[in-house]
Chain A
């Protein structure tokens, strides 16, 4: 298992759960992952990657993995407010997009794979900045 250093991954993706340590596993949908991240961010966690994907298609994913850092030191009030706004806006947007749609469960396996790959890229990006 990959050591995830000083961050946690909030995910509902079973293949991510098996791959990394420091998992906060959510037994539920994309929306439940967003809710869990919201709770953590309101309690002072730092949002490392953006909660939403980069296209409409990714809203229909049954899986999502979001990186956070719990009780990170050095977060200014401005940053905290930014994280809170970002996760709250993301939830609002998710609800808006899914009003008439259902998660695309037929293609669950592929979404799981893409989520895992995008998470890997996000961790890579994060590490390139921190090291």
Chain B
């Protein structure tokens, strides 16, 4: 497969009377987009707003973030199996409004957090403080069941991304990236002496607000499955998960999965990258055993010498992560885990909910319990009641000047377990 990602650098977003990209400025026809999204009868109203890097703006509660794109050559514009007709993704040319993001807001339940601060201390912790964000606030019709409400917000975000992405169709890109990889046989012939490495990406797959979708298939219903990395980079994987703000994988992060991009970068140099195995994090123990066996079997059948495993969430998924690690290592496959830590405010507690002695190579993407102090915003987009939820966890969380203290787990993408975030490690 060969995918050409053509980046059009976006330097601002304006709301106006047309939808276009001129000299890096994305203008969005507000009324047209709102009326398009309201074609879904489950949606009563839509509010659009723009949040720019540096503005004293807080967005809360964020449901998903999506990168606006348009496929100009090859099959599968949009999100096949979800918002558009089924198509094979991974080949062709896509124009990307790089630096822009669609951010959906929708308080499906009262305890959602998911904060993006565009300035100051909060901005340091989320990767979406540096994108120009078109915030889409979805107000559903009354009496909508939670499943329908979640689906309406999820689809509205994807449709908004498709609509906005279309503005880039005829624009010349500032930068072009090519991702090309042949069959396993072809690549093994090219790089016979490089170690073969597979990437296992785990997805929360447990029900309402805890789901992921692959070509529209709810990952609760799948056995672990193999994708060409280009398919994920081309929009095959969608987030339906909105309770683990710091470490959920938004659709944007799937579209730009850092683990995939880094493995691609090393392909043909230090490794032979075999592809992505999407693995559901189920809730039953029997389901976890099956997933573990099946994931290991796929890695062995591929002839993997090494495997990178990334987690989504914390708690019961830790069991999957370590079970898979143990089984891979027991079968002679060197395994590296990518996960965040829940190691208490001082960082001294045991970081995961489970352990295994085989987990000897673990990359930490940050401590979700780390406390940050967020100053009051000039402008809140979304539901400011959600701030009370954010601050209400313990005594003294809300200070007199309106600053609030919260744990990193409330901040979108703060400890991304696929590495799409701002934290890093420096060696001295």
Contact of A93 among B221, B290, B353, B409 (CB under 8 A): B353
Residues from chain B with Cβ under 8 Å of A27 in the complex: none
Q: Is the CB of B111 within 8 A of A54?
A: no
Contacts A54-B210, A104-B389, A104-B392 hold; do A118 and B283 have CB atoms under 8 A apart?
yes
A90 to B316, CA, bound (A): 9
B210, B287, B342: the one within 8 Å of A97 (CB): B342
B428 at the interface (CB under 8 A from A): no
Assess whether B389 is in contact with A50, with CB atoms less than 8 Å apart: no
Q: Are A125 and B284 in contact (CB under 8 A)?
A: yes
Residues of chain A with a CB closer than 8 A to B286's CB: 48, 126, 129
Cross-chain contact B111 with A50 (CB below 8 angstroms)? no
Contact of B409 among A50, A57, A111 (CB under 8 A): A57
- A40: shortest Cβ distance to chain B, in Å? 15
What B residues does A111 contact at CB under 8 A?
A: 109, 111
What separation, in Å, do the CA atoms of A54 and B243 have in the docked complex?
9
When chains A and B are docked, how far (Å) is the Cα of A97 from the Cα of B349? 10
Residues of chain B lying within 8 A (CB to CB) of residue A100: 345, 394
Q: Given that A90-B353, A100-B394, A104-B392 are contacting pairs, would A50 and B319 also be in contact in the complex, using a CB cutoff of 8 Å?
A: yes
Interface string of B169-213 (1 = CB under 8 A from A): 000000000000000000000000000000000001011111000
State whether B316 touches A54 (Cβ < 8 A). Answer: yes
Interchain CB contact (< 8 A) of B393 among A54, A102, A117: A102
B contact face: mostly helix, strand, loop, or mixed: loop
Kindly state whether residue A52 has any CB partner on chain B within 8 Å: yes
Interface flags, A116-131, vs B, CB<8A=1, else 0: 0110111011101100
The distance from the CB of B348 to the nearest CB of chain A, in whole angstroms, is 11
| Whole-angstrom CA separation of A95 from B207 in the bound complex | 25
Contact A107 B389 (CB under 8 A): yes
Please report the C-alpha to C-alpha distance between residue A97 and residue B369 in the assembled complex, in whole angstroms. 9
Using Cβ atoms and an 8 Å threshold, which residues of chain A touch B86?
Answer: none
Assess whether A15 is interfacial by the CB under 8 Å rule.
no
Contact call B208/A121, Cβ cutoff below 8 A: yes
Contact, CB under 8 Å: A117 / B314 = no
B287 / chain A contacts, CB cutoff of 8 Å: 125, 129
Q: Which of A97, A102, A126 is in CB contact (< 8 Å) with B394?
A: A102
Interface set of B (CB-CB < 8 Å, partner A): 109-111, 113, 146-147, 204, 206-210, 220-221, 243-248, 281-288, 290, 312-317, 319, 342, 344-345, 349-350, 353-354, 368-369, 388-389, 392-394, 407, 409
New contact pairs (8) apart from A86-B285, A106-B388, A110-B109, CB-CB < 8 Å: A50-B283, A54-B314, A93-B353, A96-B342, A96-B349, A104-B392, A104-B393, A121-B220
Question: Mind listing 18 A-B residue pairs with CB under 8 Å?
Answer: A52-B353, A53-B315, A54-B244, A54-B314, A55-B210, A55-B409, A58-B243, A90-B353, A99-B344, A100-B394, A104-B392, A106-B389, A107-B389, A111-B111, A117-B147, A121-B283, A122-B207, A126-B284
